[in-house]
Amino acid sequence: MTFDEAKAKFVQTWGTLATQWGINRTMAQIHALLMIAPDPIDTDTVMEQLQISRGNANMNLRELMDWGLVYKQLKPGDRREYYIAEKDVWKIARQVAKERRRREITPVIEVLEELKKVNTDTPEAEAFRKIVGDLSQVVGFADNTLNAVIKAEENWLMGQFLTFFRSI
């Protein structure tokens, strides 16, 4: 397999995997392209390599910057904006966990806390409150797990993975 074939396969696979995590495929493909690029890339290069429009490229680059996965870089004497991705995969994993927690888990926790306040003067309301409480425990576990990943040091996280895989 040539480098160009491997690169294309990586970018496509990263995009496909990301959709399973709830992340836009094009956003993930841009992220993959920037992760493997040895030097910063400008928007025109992103557009050309992924065959996407300028609007699509700009929108997804902004979103990647909002996620803290991509940074803008300027080159002296060049008016174009260049982009570079975080290369440390542990930082990437922690940042994705942090954003997923902020965007998905925290809002659910807030709604569940509000729903726990329902009056339980009927059997239906009591059953509702029990389900909400059970869901709250599951979401709380997910929140604690993501929080552990966010706060984890690389060595601790690697140790946890190794311990897990040795136990299988």
Encode pLDDT of 110-161 as tens digits: 999 999 888 888 999 889 999 999 999 999 998 998 888 788 765 555 666 6
Say what the pLDDT of residue 23 is: 81
Please report, rounded to a whole number, the percentage of residues in the chain having pLDDT higher than 70. 92
CATH no. for 3-85:
1.10.10.10
- Rounded to an integer, what distance in angstroms lies between the CA atom of residue 145 and that of residue 149? 6
pLDDT of residue 159: 62
End-to-end CA distance of the chain: 33
Domain ranges of the chain: 3-85, 89-167
CA gap 156, 168 in Å, rounded:
19
Each residue's pLDDT tens digit, 27-66? 999 999 999 999 999 999 999 999 999 999 999 999 999 9
**Integer-rounded Cα radius of gyration of the chain:** 21
Q: Can you tell me the mean pLDDT for 1-18?
A: 90
Percent of the chain with pLDDT over 90: 57
Is the per-residue pLDDT at 19 higher than 90? no
Locate tokens 């992220």: which residue? 31
